[in-house]
Structure 1
Amino acid sequence: MTTRRSVLALGGATVAAAAAVPALGTPALARPHPFAPEPGSDGVGDPLFPTLGNGGYQVTHYDLTFDFTPVTYDFTGTVKISAKATQDLSAFNLDTDGHTIDSVTVAGRPARWELTSGQSGQELTVTPARPLRDHQAFTVEIRYRGNGKAPRLGLTGWNFGSDGGFASAAQSSRADTFLPCNDTPSDKATWTFHISAPKGFVATANGELTHRTPRADGSTVWHFALRERMATELIGIAVVKGTYLYGSSHRGLPLRHIVPQGQEDTYAPVVARTADHLAWLEAKFGRYPFSVYGLHIYDGYTDALENQTLSLFATSWFKPNAQGQPGYETTMVHELVHQWFGDSVTPHDWQQAWLNEGPAVYYAGLYGEERGWSVLADKMKATYEKLDAVRAADGPPGRPDALGGTNIYDGGALVLYALNLRIGGRAFDKVMREWVKRYKDSTYTTEAFIRHTVHVTRDMSLDGFLRDWLFGAVNPPMPGHPDWKATA
């Protein structure tokens, strides 16, 4: 994600999970555990968002039907969730915010439900007609409705444009303003979408557009399928007055972009740069990890965000810099890097976000340097000089107190810059390439990255080196630059 300002997240205490210790001795016969259903937890203990997500189950698939009316912003939705219990469940929670719940079923049977206030939104507690067994696959169907501009307990993911439509920007805790879900990056799932748009509007969503269904009232239902797993915070649905522009990468990957109606000529040359950006990054990381990519450019959004397979950009990003150069391409590269780092390889919790943002800042800076628009070393030196103060105020890159700060963005890039100088460019490229290959379509932790780096390089000293950079109270010396000093 690229923002013009820091966005602070509410902190909270980590929820510790108690482990049962078996009694000593060997039983004569192994016995199955007794069926003892209990409610799943109403949070997964994320260090920065302790009440996000829910325990007791894992989602395997979301099927979302979303019927939105532009200008009035009313909507109705049905979400069908396929999941698997991870314990004996008497009840379980979903994250939601600002919705009127009309009905809930579990395994096709009406379920009891309760809507209560939570710390970052609302908690929807569902009690199935019959308790669920550990490892049992089950389905949940929730019918709900609301208004995009209605008040919410937490932040909203809705962004409204001059056309009366909307685009979603759910990172990091706002997917629950569009649908009841298990809103944690650690629970990735596949998705299908069925988004309606009236005449004159188009719908967008993550993944491939599979088909469209016309309706008698002149509206159209747009159907999308995302076959690779996605975290809820990367949902990219929209209903806008836009035009689809199509193309392909140099190796044939389908590209589809959505630009404002009437501004096709303005943005066609901009989105056409995506093919070269993909080629540049695929040379570094290997093949792009999904089956489609594109940009959604919209005047209802003010920043840039890496929604999976469909990055969202403000119209205001695409202006030449003071030297007349297309410096905005570095932001395009930044969000494209995220398709590998953050979308395909996703943080297990939000305190690991430096390894989303650090690579995005680092490679965007490297791209700008190769084109003569900037000097990466100058940017890293300026970051080094101020990062000690940031560490003291906001936490070190690997243990931030909140999201959106310099510590995880430029500070995360500085960690990678230091690692490159320490081990050399060839070894560094191998570490990064093998990382996104090994953890494709899964989640990671910082500890896993440290172990991975040591394994790839066979250099045990990098364990302490990375820990000092990621968790230390002050910057370690920069390899090759003993003259770099903190200025505050």
Structure 2
Amino acid sequence: MTASTSRRSALRLGGAAVAAAVAVPVLGSPASARSHGSDPAPGSDGVGDPLFPTLGNGGYQVVHYDLTFDFTPVIYDFTAVVKINAKATQDLSAFNLDTDGHAIDAVTVGGRTADWALSAGKSGQELTVTPGRPLHRGQAFTVEIRYHGNGKAPRLGLTGWKFGTDGGFASAAQSSRADTILPCNDTPSDKATWTFHISAPQGFVATANGELLHRSPRADGSTVWHFALRERMATELIGIAVVKGTYLYGTSHRGLPLRHIVPQGQEDKYGPIVARTADHLAWLEAKFGRYPFSVYGLHIYDGYTDALENQTLSLFSTNWFKLNANGRPGYETTMVHELTHQWFGDSVTPDNWQQAWLNEGPAVYYAGLHGEERGWSVFADKMKATYEKLDAIRAADGPPGLPKALGGTNIYDGGALVLYALSRQIGQRTFDKVMREWVKRFKDSTYTSEEFIAHTVEVTGDPSLDAFLRDWLFGALNPPMPGHPDWKAAA
């Protein structure tokens, strides 16, 4: 008991040492709030996301998360503290956070002990916090939650924990599983800056989104790794890990710092692969402008089976990196896909999950173009095949702009088909301008499909594109493909 208390104290001190690394406003306590003209009520337990109605919480917006995470590999126990700086958007008598599978030890608001209760939600648990005094609209406040648990403990929903053969873990929280890592406002519409203080025992390394600031050794041989993400991030893109890995470093052609984490002892295998990132960045920056963050890299891990665009640190399974049947490095297409997401999805983030076509559509579109330029595929052939089957998919899963769920072809290849149709309608040069100006205009922000439609009309000066995009995004059937009148839906 004394040892664990000592470790938590050491982590708290480490967190304080780097608190100034990210600009965080000084926040007042409930006692400083005005005491008149208010009508406090509980914040809602969801933000009304069309696909996840109870995801996120109403009544406040998060400004900054500071996460201290002390993890023990192999047995998967952890203790943690999350400090949340937020601002009330209404008079609040109580507010909720999303959580799932954690034992809550203590909650304070403005440094004062607060009442709290756990209840079951539709996608996880709801942590309801009742401060000692109501919060007023516009008031800045700080919440601190101390909690513990086990990475493999049962959750009410899916988990964001991924476990490797090394006894470590990596987080893959998209789309609604950040609450299995920390109590948070788990909605893409509420982006915040972050700092992380992740402990790793001897023989392991820690990772997190953003820049590594420094490492603090501890008497027991473990190390606390301190990271800062100065650009805002949605909770679903959190990328923390404790693994047996090796950091590999490089720079892009423009001098952007690159840091990758590869399996320990496999540096020779994965070094040349991650080195391709510089060329991928150059290819995409030529289309969109400068990369939107201050660092990038890949985390390659055998505990994950897919690929995911965690902000500044895309997560890849070791299974991706094999030559295809033609002896080509087809995995580079996936590397470009996830890198494209750093602009589309990470920097420019959907306001709700029904807008996800404009995350996945560009990632599929530009990965396809990259493959075609390398001589690996013909992008028009892929789009034709998508066109032929998309009518049936629209009927079953919804059109690209109104999906009934996430993860379907309608969002991925269907979203790319919408962009392909737009490029055929307005010409490639104008299309490139629409996309380049989009990520510039909405950098570090959130978007809706309606905003993309209005943006396209504004950039092109063509009001007919409003109806054109609505037909492609929301229609029950594919419109005719510009330049390909012979394309038909499969019988």
Q: Which interval holds the TM-score relative to the shorter structure?
A: over 0.9
SS at match of 2:322: coil
C-alpha distance in 2 between matches for 1:140 and 1:451: 38
Task: Give the corresponding residue for 1:467.
Answer: 470
SS at match of 2:45: coil
SS at match of 2:183: coil
Q: Does 1:204 align with 2:207?
A: yes
TM norm structure 2 = 0.93
Q: Does 1:305 align with 2:321?
A: no
Task: Give the corresponding residue for 2:3.
Answer: none
1:403-424 superposed Cα distances (whole Å, 9 cap, x missing partner):
0000000000000000000000
C-alpha distance in 2 between matches for 1:453 and 1:118: 38
The structure that is helix-richer by fraction is 2
Flag structure 2 segments of 5+ consecutive residues without an equivalent. 1-34
TM norm structure 1 = 0.93
Task: Give the corresponding residue for 1:485.
Answer: 488
Task: Give the corresponding residue for 1:181.
Answer: 184
Task: Give the corresponding residue for 1:265.
Answer: 268
SS at match of 2:469: helix
C-alpha distance in 1 between matches for 2:445 and 2:312: 16
Residue 69 of structure 1 aligns with an amino acid whose one-letter code is: T
Residue 226 of structure 1 aligns with an amino acid whose one-letter code is: L
Deviation at 1:224, TM superposition (A): 0.1
Task: Give the corresponding residue for 1:80.
Answer: 83
CA RMSD of superposed structures (Å): 0.8
Flag structure 1 segments of 5+ consecutive residues without an equivalent. 1-31
- 5 Å matches for 1:230-269? 230-269=233-272
Q: Does 1:128 align with 2:131?
A: yes
Task: Give the corresponding residue for 2:325.
Answer: 322
- 5 Å matches for 1:279-428? 279-428=282-431
SS at match of 1:427: helix
C-alpha distance in 1 between matches for 2:479 and 2:97: 43
Residue 121 of structure 2 aligns with an amino acid whose one-letter code is: G
Aligned length, in residue pairs: 457
C-alpha distance in 1 between matches for 2:36 and 2:383: 55
Residue 215 of structure 1 aligns with an amino acid whose one-letter code is: R
1:137-179 superposed Cα distances (whole Å, 9 cap, x missing partner):
0000000000000000011010000000000000000000000
C-alpha distance in 1 between matches for 2:378 and 2:69: 46
Residue 151 of structure 1 aligns with an amino acid whose one-letter code is: P
Deviation at 1:33, TM superposition (A): 8.8
**Matching residue within 432, 455, 458 for 2:458:** 455
C-alpha distance in 1 between matches for 2:248 and 2:122: 41
Deviation at 1:79, TM superposition (A): 0.0
Deviation at 1:34, TM superposition (A): 2.5
SS at match of 1:338: helix
C-alpha distance in 2 between matches for 1:350 and 1:256: 30
Report sequence identity in percent. 86
CA distance change for structure 1 residues 33 and 457 in 2, over 3 Å: closer, same or farther? farther
Residue 354 of structure 2 aligns with an amino acid whose one-letter code is: Q
Runs of 4+ aligned structure 1 residues displaced above 3 Å come to: none
SS at match of 1:393: helix
**Matching residue within 275, 279, 303 for 2:278:** 275
- 5 Å matches for 1:80-159? 80-159=83-162
Deviation at 1:298, TM superposition (A): 0.1
SS at match of 2:64: strand
Residue 291 of structure 1 aligns with an amino acid whose one-letter code is: S
**Matching residue within 163, 167, 176 for 1:164:** 167
SS at match of 1:324: coil
1:95-136 superposed Cα distances (whole Å, 9 cap, x missing partner):
000000000000000000000010100000000001001000
C-alpha distance in 2 between matches for 1:117 and 1:462: 45
1:283-327 superposed Cα distances (whole Å, 9 cap, x missing partner):
000000000000000000000000000000000000011000001
Task: Give the corresponding residue for 1:41.
Answer: 44
